[in-house]
Amino acid sequence: MRPPVSDHRTTQPRPRASLRTAVVWEVLQDALDRRTKATGRDSLDILDTGGGSGNFAVPLAGLGHRVTVVDPSPNALFALERRAAEAGVAERVKGMQGDAHGLFDVAERGGYDVVLCHGVLEYVDDPAEGIRNAVAALRPEGVLSLLAAGLGGAVLARALAGHFKEAGQALRDPDGRWGSGDPVPRRFTADQLTALVEGAGLRVGAVHGVRVFADLVPGVLVDTEPGALDALLELEAAAAELPAFHSVATQLHVLGETPGAGEA
């Protein structure tokens, strides 16, 4: 059985990791609550594309959901299997080697209540195709959780580090890259992501900025100042929903819903 709603907030990573994931977890868990109520089922079928070693998949399985992780890395899938076993949720987590382009070689088309597409669009050759495949994996009433690198956050970070030419390059580059040494192949604005989601036939339910401040605050301050972590988490949550801060977030989270899910 799925744990009570009052208990599930404790599953998100703490303490420092929560700075990177807290906003996404809040939005995602609220969406899961709505879907479980709408379906009348205790557990949902979730597809985590590019889910790696299970940062989201294992906690979601801990809530009682069935999670299929598709990832191209066999090492990541091995780590996923080990993590799921250690957490006691191995029977609810399935790892499959594959990628967004050939998603339906390993995953079921139209078979999932929720699809996670986190950290995938930055690396695929065709982001629009990646989104279309993710949407095609949804049931008629389903939810897409999309998380991708934000352009503005990278520009701001390079400028604050004193790399002004690289900041300008990222700002001008069509893919948002600051140079040949940039490890991220592509970054997005909020408008670009929402256009991709809407172009795939989904309604945009919410857009949030992720890591608006977390990557800019010195870690020593968060670790040593009493109450700093909780205060920073509250600040991140407050800024996440404000469009003015989307343009400087390190990541952007878009929640997309099928028309059927929006009516449920």
pLDDT per residue over 169-179, tens digit each?
999 999 999 99
Angstrom CA distances, 162 to 158, 251, 262, stand at 6, 21, 45
Q: Note the pLDDT of residue 61.
A: 97
Taking a C-beta distance cutoff of 8 angstroms, is the pair 65, 92 a contact? yes
Fill in the amino acid letter for 67.
V
Q: Give the tokens for residue 161.
A: 């580090």
Please report the pLDDT score of residue 2 as a whole number.
34
Task: Indicate the pLDDT class of residue 1, thresholds 50, 70 and 90.
Answer: very low
Torsion angle of the four alpha carbons 28, 249, 176, 144, in this order, in degrees rounded to the nearest 10:
10
**pLDDT at residue 195, rounded to an integer:** 97
pLDDT of residue 216: 85
- For the cut 80, the answer to whether the pLDDT of residue 5 exceeds it is no
- The predicted-structure confidence for 28-46, as pLDDT tens digits, reads as follows 999 999 999 999 998 999 9
Q: What is the pLDDT of residue 3?
A: 37
- Answer positive or negative: Cα dihedral of 130, 262, 245, 198: positive
Check whether 262 has a pLDDT greater than 60.
Answer: no
**Mean of the per-residue pLDDT values for the chain?**
90
pTM of the model as a whole: 0.89
Q: What pLDDT, on the 0 to 100 scale, is given for residue 17?
A: 59
pLDDT of residue 227: 84
- Cα torsion through 85, 59, 48, 113, rounded to 10: 120
Instruction: Summarize pLDDT for 167-215 with one digit per residue, the tens.
Output: 999 999 999 999 999 999 999 999 999 999 999 999 999 999 999 998 8
Give the residue, 220 or 62, on which the prediction is more confident: 62
Task: Please tell me the predicted confidence (pLDDT) of residue 87.
Answer: 96
**Alpha-carbon Rg of the chain, whole angstroms?**
18
